[in-house]
């Protein structure tokens, strides 16, 4: 649910990075933050938890273009991956416009990936969203590890909604901007189809 600031002529869109604990959500967000040179980006904020933290910042990309005279500002959030933080996950999902699901490609993490995807679907439903209708991108992270499953196996298990998906190694920036650009474009397409 984009927020429109008529005074600043900006549309504020919320992208949430979701996935299992230690799967690469934070690394994605940190990479985007470090590589974004826009003078119109906020500081990177961190809300620490016992083990994980929630990160967020916003920026005004220079190459997205305007929608009916409005600039688009993106707010990027990560959710804590551990199940004990489910209340935090639900809160962070409120008002979202799109999701990047960061899956851990390691074979031994598949069950956690599946649980996290199921949790995302349930949490979205509780807030009135249908996972098949929102802009959703999957990133198969940690492709550089020797125990990474094949993309075909990951896609078969996780990509039930025929979403755009990418291979990633977030620690090296691989797949990070591809995932962000794709979900951003999907959000822009939704906005262009709606009324301001």
Segment 53-82, tens digit of pLDDT? 555 545 555 456 667 788 888 888 888 766
Segment 82-141, tens digit of pLDDT? 665 677 778 888 889 999 999 999 999 999 999 999 999 999 999 899 999 999 999 999
Pairing mode, strands 136-141 and 98-104? parallel
List of domains in the chain: 3-186 (3.40.50.300)
162: Cβ contacts below 8 Å, ≥ 6 apart: none
The answer to whether 127 and 178 have CB atoms below 8 angstroms apart is: no
């Amino acid at each position: 649910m984009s927020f429109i600031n008529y005074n600043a002529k900006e549309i504020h869109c919320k992208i949430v990075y979701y996935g299992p604990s230690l799967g690469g959500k934070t690394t994605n967000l940190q990479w985007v933050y470090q590589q974004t040179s826009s003078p119109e980006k906020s500081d990177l904020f961190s809300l620490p938890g016992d083990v994980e933290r929630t990160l967020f910042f916003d920026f005004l990309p220079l190459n997205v273009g305007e929608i009916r005279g409005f600039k688009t500002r993106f707010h990027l959030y990560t959710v804590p991956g551990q199940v004990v933080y489910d209340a935090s996950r639900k809160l962070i999902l409120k008002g979202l416009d799109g999701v990047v699901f960061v899956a851990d490609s390691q074979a031994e993490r598949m069950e956690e990936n599946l649980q996290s995807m199921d949790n995302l679907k349930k949490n979205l439903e509780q807030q009135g969203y249908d996972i098949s209708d929102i802009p959703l991108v999957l990133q198969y992270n940690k492709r550089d590890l020797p125990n990474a499953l094949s993309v075909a196996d990951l896609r078969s298990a996780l990509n039930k909604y025929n979403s755009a998906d990418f291979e990633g190694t977030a620690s090296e920036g691989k797949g990070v901007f591809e995932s962000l650009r794709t979900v951003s474009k999907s959000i822009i397409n939704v906005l262009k189809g709606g009324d301001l």
